[in-house]
Amino acid sequence: MSTSPEPLVFPPDFLWGTATAAHQIEGGNINSDWWVFENKGDSSVAEPSGDACDSYNRWEADLDLVASMGLQSYRFSIEWSRIEPEEGRYSFAERDHYLQICKGARARGLLPVVTFHHFTSPRWFAERGGFEWSEAPERFARYVSFVAETLGPEIALACTINEPNIVAFMGYGFGAFPPGIVNDFERVRSVNATLLEAHHQAVTALRNAPGVFPIGLTLSMAELIALDGGEEARDDFQEMMEDCYLRELQDDDFIGVQCYTRFFFNHGGLSLGSPGTRSTPMGYEFWPNCVEATVRRAAAMTGLPIVVTENGVSTTNDQERIEYLDGALRSLHRVLREGVDVRGYFCWSLLDNFEWAFGYQQHFGLVSVDRSTFVRTPKPSADFYGSVAKSRTLGGAPRWRESS
C-alpha cells in the first residue's frame, strides 16, 4: 500500500496574503510617469493600462475576494501621483481613499500591508529627473509622511519602495520602464544609491508617524547561478541588483523577498533560460525553488526577518499555477524547517492585471478579470492557495518535480 507523504505544516502565526499594485489594477492613473510612458506614440509598452481592473472603484470587491479565500492579509500600494498630482499639492481626498481601503481590510479581518512606491512616480517628479534628482529622497519621504499621518495607525506592515533595483535596471539598463534608457549602467548604480537613500528617509518618516508597524523594502531577487566561467558576470550582476541593497538594510525591521525564477551566467554574461528548461510566458524558467535560494541569501546577508512579499507565475493554464505554488510553498517550507525566520508569504497576484511593458498579455492572477465588465472570477488556484492558507498545511504528493 502506498502511503501519502507527511503533510507540511506551517507555523500558526505565519502570515498568508496576496499582493497587488495601484497602477496595475486601479485604472486611470493619468498623473503618473507610467501613463505618459505607455501612451507615447513610440511606446515600447504592449498596450496602455487604461481602466486596468477598475480597482480604484472596485476595491471593496477585491477585499471581499481576499477575505473569501481565507487569507489574512492584503498587500496593495498607494499611488503617489494621486496623493501629490502637482508638486507640493497634496490631496486629502485621495489619502482618505487609501485610509478607507486600510479600514475596509481591517473590517474583513485582513492586515493591510502598504507599499508607498510600486514603480510609478508622479509626472512632475519624473520631469525633475525622477530618482536622479538630488531632492528625490526628501520629496519621496515628504509624501510618505503625509500619507502615514492618517494611515499609520491602520498599517500592519509598511513597504517603502517596491523593487528599487528593478526601477533602476529597467529604467536605465534595459529600457523597459521610464525613462526608457538602455545600457547606462553607471546611471543604474547611481539611481540605486538614490533609491536607497529615499528608502532610508522614508523609514525615518514612518518611524516618526503615528502607529507601530514593521518597515522594510521589497527587493527583486532571483536564484543566480554561475556556470563555468560565469562567476564574474554573476557576481557583478548580484552586486548591482541585490547586494548593494542587502548590505545597507540592517536598520530595517524586515526585508521583503520577491522572486520568480533563476538565472544562469556564463562567460558571455546572463543567459536567459537554458536549453531544455521549461519556460513561462514571461520568458522565465518555471522554477518555484527560487524561493529557498533567495530567502536564504537575503536572511544570511541582512540578518533580518523575511517576508516573501511576491512570488507567483504567469500562465493561462491554471493547473500550472497550482503546480508552481505547490512547488514554491514546499521550497518555502524547507527554509522554515532550517530555522530561517520567514514571517509570511504573499502570492503575486490577486488579479490578472496590467503587467507593465507586457500590458495585459500576462496572467499572474488567482482571479481573472473581464476586460470590459471587470467581473472577477476566482480560478481553481485561488481555492488551492486559500485552502493551504486556511489549514496552514500542504498535503499530498508534490505536484512539481524538477525533472518534469
Q: What is the 3-state secondary structure (H, E, C) of 277-297?
A: CCECCCCCECCCCHHHHHHHH
Q: How many residues interact with ligand FCB (rule CB under 6 A)?
A: 12
Closer by beta carbon to ligand FCB, 153 or else 281: 281
The DSSP bridge partners found for residue 86 are 89
Residue recorded with cell 513561462: 280
Q: How far is the CB of 358 from ligand FCB (least distance, A)?
A: 9
Stretch binding ligand FCB (CB under 6 A), from 33-41, 159-167, 203-211, 240-248: 159-167
Q: Which stretch binds ligand FCB (CB under 6 A): 53-61, 160-168, 199-207, 323-331?
A: 160-168
- Binding flag, residue 115, ligand FCB (CB under 6 A): no
Among 45, 83, 166, 167, binds ligand FCB (CB under 6 A): 166
177 scored as a contact of ligand FCB (CB under 6 A): no
Task: Compose the 364-393 pattern: x for residues touching ligand FCB by CB under 6 A, - for all others.
Answer: x-----------------------------
Please, which residue, 201 or 280, has the CB nearer to ligand FCB?
280
The window from 34-42, 63-71, 87-95, 158-166 that contacts ligand FCB (CB under 6 A) reads 158-166
Interacting residue with ligand FCB among 29, 73, 115, 162 (CB under 6 A): 162
Q: Tell me whether the omega of the peptide bond preceding residue 271 falls within 30 degrees of 0, making it cis.
A: no
Per-residue interface string for the shown chain with ligand FCB, residues 323-362, x marking contact by CB under 6 A: -------------------------x------xx------
Q: Which positions from 297 through 326 interact with ligand FCB, judged by CB under 6 A?
A: 310
Question: Binders of ligand FCB among 278-297, rule CB under 6 A?
Answer: none
d(CA 329, CA 393): 10
Examine residue 220 and tell whether it contacts ligand FCB (CB under 6 A): yes
| Complex with ligand FCB: residue 10 or 354, whichever CB lies closer | 354
- Catalog residues that contact ligand FCB under the rule CB under 6 A: 21, 24, 162-163, 166, 220, 258, 310, 348, 355-356, 364
